[in-house]
Structure 1
């Protein structure tokens, strides 16, 4: 070997020793080919340089393989140490980009439902569109890899016509400046679960070694995705198990609470607790507001849990805006035997359960809460309604027993042929009524609801010592004369709230002896007939105001009465209606006051001269009216008009 070749060999060994680049070897080869010398010697020297370059390439391949192996080792470590899928995939994508020396890399996962690949991790991207890519399985390299389950690469993606292009995807790659691209599948159980890509902003042909490294990284990514799915499934199963355990614990607690609640309610019932105590206990157990309604949907008791205020419960009325919903819910509860929701709002729910006694509706229980009950508390609510129903039935039996006594006594008291009159004072004292005091009798006739229902409603409201019952289609009330005003007020208040139709009634004159009751009862019966004929309603009239009319008009109809009133005082009424005066009222008060102008002025709160002026107008309107027969006729007509409300 010549001295020149030996020097060249030493130089080439030195380059290899200091890991010189291939460009430096190429520079040596170029200088050698340009130097003078023999052809054989130059060819031998060139062969020596090319062998050194081949060694350099093999060394670079070994280094690349070593870097790939180290990257795979790092990825394996990450797989065993990281559970965060996003961080793990980002690390894999970043290593793939660095190992292949590419400008960018990304990883996608496949969604079978949408048949699309969605980007999960990126590295080196400059466009936001790249990080948000979704690719259909029909387009681009993604479609080829999915179909073949094998790697695919192209020196220039945008110019490659071996696969169909997606215009939107091409725009994204064009914005990124992408040319060369390689993609490999993430395979799991012979299925493609995703894709790993690298791309460069110049035309590049990817070596088999690069594709092999990329495929190895993809395998790790597939394992990571699978591990993440398995972990997510395990976590979901654990969460479901925890939820099932919590649900079971809640159910067990609910069953225990329900049993304790039922025991508490039945204990209260056994001890003879009041309805108020029972309702308050239910409200506290269910943490809401409770209303107990009777069969007419009137409130008979109410309670609220401490700290809970329900405006809907406080403002409940039988004929309010929600009456239809509550009535329908009670009907549905009665038919189905379970509680139902009557209405629901953002801040409150009203649940209703019918209270049944045998085949009869005793009433209902309404529960108001911020939110609806769970299944077991619903059962507690329904059981509480059963306990309340037992109490209402017990009260009804007690009331029926007392009512039976009162009904028998009243029928004996108003009967003209009663053989038990001597024992009546003792019976009356037992029922709370003293027959030695002055008595009054009240008869009330209603159209809707019927008198028997009105009697039941009144019993719970009347004070002690007031006896009442339904007798022959009318409510009969007997009480001390001193209590008549209170009794009339109680009835009027109930009528205003609950009566859906007209009513009429008569209050008797005081009776000093209970033996006078049968005769007065007969007179009041006749008076009711008169009131019905003349159309009087909405009032309880004193018997003294009816005596004359009962005699005169028992057989007259409404039209006859109107004709009589019109003939007697028609001009007077027409004058008042036209001018808004009160001459008819003044004249009635004047006649009621024995034709005393001063008393009339005092009763009406006006000056006596005003009375005289109005009476002067009467002369002009009715003509001569001072004769006793004419005065009686006018007085009767004015009184009938005040009773009936007739206008001519």
Structure 2
């Protein structure tokens, strides 16, 4: 035994070599060496325990060295960060190698809802798992993200802490995974994703494995955070550059708009009209621009405009929004801004969305320019309307004074120039509409052709030119359209014997207007002359019957008075005899040929068509009134003389 015993130095070398081996190796060899050295069994047991402890410690140190090297390698790549996807891929691969698990993968938060999608993986065999989306609130990944703490499960199918998703369970089953360890990718209070290590068998993960995977997760979080910071910085730089370019464009646009505004202001100061303003805008914008009236009609003709309905809709939309409105019509892009008065649309400016600049769209600068032009045009319109309103008010006062006093001279102190004689009048029933507003519209429509005033719920128009009935119907239609009341009714009378006869003509037209509803007549203009027979029969004016008879039979009565003939008596007998010439001859004891000659003379003297039943009715009414007057006069003559 003594010859086989080891020396102390040999024993030390053997024990030291055994302590450096992997855990579980060389236990039998160390025991044999110790037995040969003559060491007691108890001492040998202590030495073997120390060797085993040393083996575990050395193995742990070697593993930690490898982990530290892997982490340092990842840190170096992080510093030299170029391709984020490449860095994350290698980080997952290193974690996979050091963890020694079957599968390792990284999931990143994809949206604000908190859904996580697998971005990189190692050890996977199914393509569905490599692009797996885990909805927020489901699976182990959501638990890791919500708690910001590591989480693990030895058997995934038995996990009950978080809800399962059928699609996720199917992907896990297809991949054959059983146990999971997940750690969060967090920077500050923000969770960017989760890093997972998985096995295809049941497994309880150790604290060392959790710490190692967490270290890799910290690096992955740093990579994602840095990448996002760089992306945000690049985006911020791009936004700053775009803001600078936008500022340059804004300054140029401001200078251009200021120039246009100065030109528009100068045009207004020189008395320019809305059409002049539009010409200026068209030249500066290098586009076709039109001025429209309140009904959407062009104030000047040059090109084709959109349909009237589309224009009216855009005008109403612009009035509601206070800005220009864009719309498509007839294959073109248009922009329109309403010209607003105090309480209504007084017109509009419309531009076609194509010009020499080669763009079919109108940019913000052009839109603001049109809106500014609309404001300036509104001032021009307001100034014009104010002057028109003052003039219309003076003319209305003058007209009412003439109607009340019957003399234009008494109204001359209103400063109204009156030269043309009044030849007709009209009264329009407004049916409870805004009388003042309607009077303003009517005054604009009548213009220099007459005078307009309002009294109660009616408009009064005194015409100085034109056909009173036709002119009145034109104004009535304009009011009906703008007031949206198609049932407006008017009565016109012509001729009128100057200012002296105006009051009577207006009174008669007003009476006729009140008679129309009983006849079911509305939405038209009626000539007061149609009611002449009824005026003479029912009027309170004592002269009305005399005027009616004189207007129709004056020529016949004058002929009888000058020549001593009996044309009137023959005509009266003709009507009383049922228009039989033979009966007239018998009653008057004259020859039938004489009757024929007298009637021919009557026809020649009366101005009218005997085939017109209305004319024949009026002549008969006039004849009967004159006959009645003569009967009453002859009956009173004896008593008067006595």
Aligned to 1:614: none
Matched, 1:551 2:541: no
CA distance in structure 1 between the aligned counterparts of 2:494 and 2:151, rounded to whole angstroms:
111
Following superposition, the deviation at residue 456 of structure 1 comes to 3.9
Following superposition, the deviation at residue 105 of structure 1 comes to 0.8
Q: Which among 478, 486, 492 is matched to residue 506 of structure 1?
A: 492
Aligned to 1:559: none
CA distance in structure 2 between the aligned counterparts of 1:243 and 1:69, rounded to whole angstroms:
45
Within 5 Å, which residues of 2 pair with 1:530-545?
Answer: 530-535=511-516, 538=522, 539-542=524-527, 544-545=529-530
Q: Which among 289, 309, 316 is matched to residue 312 of structure 2?
A: 316
Render the CA deviation track for 1:391-430: whole Å, top value 9, x for unaligned.
Answer: 4324542674487479759967997656699xxxx9666x
Asked whether the 8 Å contact 2:278–2:289 carries over to 1, the reply is no
Following superposition, the deviation at residue 266 of structure 1 comes to 0.8
Aligned to 2:387: 397
Aligned to 1:260: 259
CA distance in structure 1 between the aligned counterparts of 2:192 and 2:515, rounded to whole angstroms:
94
Asked whether the 8 Å contact 2:108–2:192 carries over to 1, the reply is yes
- The change in CA–CA distance for 1:252 and 1:407 in structure 2 (over 3 A counts) is same
Within 5 Å, which residues of 2 pair with 1:136-535?
Answer: 157=155, 173-179=172-178, 186=185, 195-202=194-201, 214=213, 216-235=215-234, 237-238=236-237, 241-242=240-241, 245=244, 248-249=247-248, 252-253=251-252, 255-279=254-278, 281=280, 310-311=306-307, 315-316=311-312, 339=322, 354-356=340-342, 361=343, 363-364=345-346, 381=371, 384-385=374-375, 387-394=377-384, 396-397=386-387, 400-401=390-391, 404=394, 408=398, 433=420, 440-448=423-431, 449=433, 456-462=440-446, 466-470=449-453, 475-480=460-465, 487-488=471-472, 490-491=474-475, 493-498=477-482, 500=485, 501-509=487-495, 516-518=497-499, 520-535=501-516
Asked whether the 8 Å contact 1:177–1:201 carries over to 2, the reply is yes
CA distance in structure 1 between the aligned counterparts of 2:344 and 2:189, rounded to whole angstroms:
71
Render the CA deviation track for 1:408-455: whole Å, top value 9, x for unaligned.
Answer: 59967997656699xxxx9666xxx4x6xxx73233343345776555
CA distance in structure 2 between the aligned counterparts of 1:132 and 1:189, rounded to whole angstroms:
26
- The change in CA–CA distance for 1:221 and 1:300 in structure 2 (over 3 A counts) is closer
- Normalised to the residue count of structure 1, the TM-score between the two structures is 0.55
Following superposition, the deviation at residue 70 of structure 1 comes to 6.4
Aligned to 1:8: none
Following superposition, the deviation at residue 551 of structure 1 comes to 1.4
Count of residue correspondences: 512
Render the CA deviation track for 1:336-367: whole Å, top value 9, x for unaligned.
Answer: xx9379999999998767434xxxx5755657
- The change in CA–CA distance for 1:205 and 1:412 in structure 2 (over 3 A counts) is closer
SS of residue matched to 1:91: helix
Asked whether the 8 Å contact 2:291–2:298 carries over to 1, the reply is yes
Following superposition, the deviation at residue 223 of structure 1 comes to 2.2
Asked whether the 8 Å contact 2:84–2:224 carries over to 1, the reply is yes
Following superposition, the deviation at residue 97 of structure 1 comes to 2.3
Aligned to 1:17: none
CA distance in structure 1 between the aligned counterparts of 2:135 and 2:609, rounded to whole angstroms:
108
Following superposition, the deviation at residue 79 of structure 1 comes to 2.0
Asked whether the 8 Å contact 1:505–1:528 carries over to 2, the reply is yes
- Normalised to the residue count of structure 2, the TM-score between the two structures is 0.56
Gaps of 5+ in 1: 3-21, 34-38, 42-53, 557-590, 604-624, 634-648
- The change in CA–CA distance for 1:65 and 1:266 in structure 2 (over 3 A counts) is same
Asked whether the 8 Å contact 1:506–1:528 carries over to 2, the reply is yes
Following superposition, the deviation at residue 265 of structure 1 comes to 1.9
CA distance in structure 2 between the aligned counterparts of 1:190 and 1:413, rounded to whole angstroms:
88
Aligned to 1:613: none
Asked whether the 8 Å contact 2:427–2:506 carries over to 1, the reply is no
Asked whether the 8 Å contact 1:146–1:185 carries over to 2, the reply is no
CA distance in structure 1 between the aligned counterparts of 2:139 and 2:396, rounded to whole angstroms:
95
- The change in CA–CA distance for 1:96 and 1:312 in structure 2 (over 3 A counts) is farther
Matched, 1:132 2:122: no
Following superposition, the deviation at residue 552 of structure 1 comes to 0.6
Asked whether the 8 Å contact 1:96–1:105 carries over to 2, the reply is yes
Gaps of 5+ in 2: 4-21, 38-52, 354-360, 542-605, 626-642
CA distance in structure 1 between the aligned counterparts of 2:481 and 2:111, rounded to whole angstroms:
67
CA distance in structure 2 between the aligned counterparts of 1:158 and 1:443, rounded to whole angstroms:
96
Following superposition, the deviation at residue 85 of structure 1 comes to 3.6
Aligned to 1:90: 89
- The change in CA–CA distance for 1:288 and 1:237 in structure 2 (over 3 A counts) is farther
CA distance in structure 2 between the aligned counterparts of 1:533 and 1:277, rounded to whole angstroms:
46
Following superposition, the deviation at residue 381 of structure 1 comes to 2.6
Following superposition, the deviation at residue 224 of structure 1 comes to 1.0
Within 5 Å, which residues of 2 pair with 1:104-123?
Answer: 104-108=103-107, 119-123=118-122
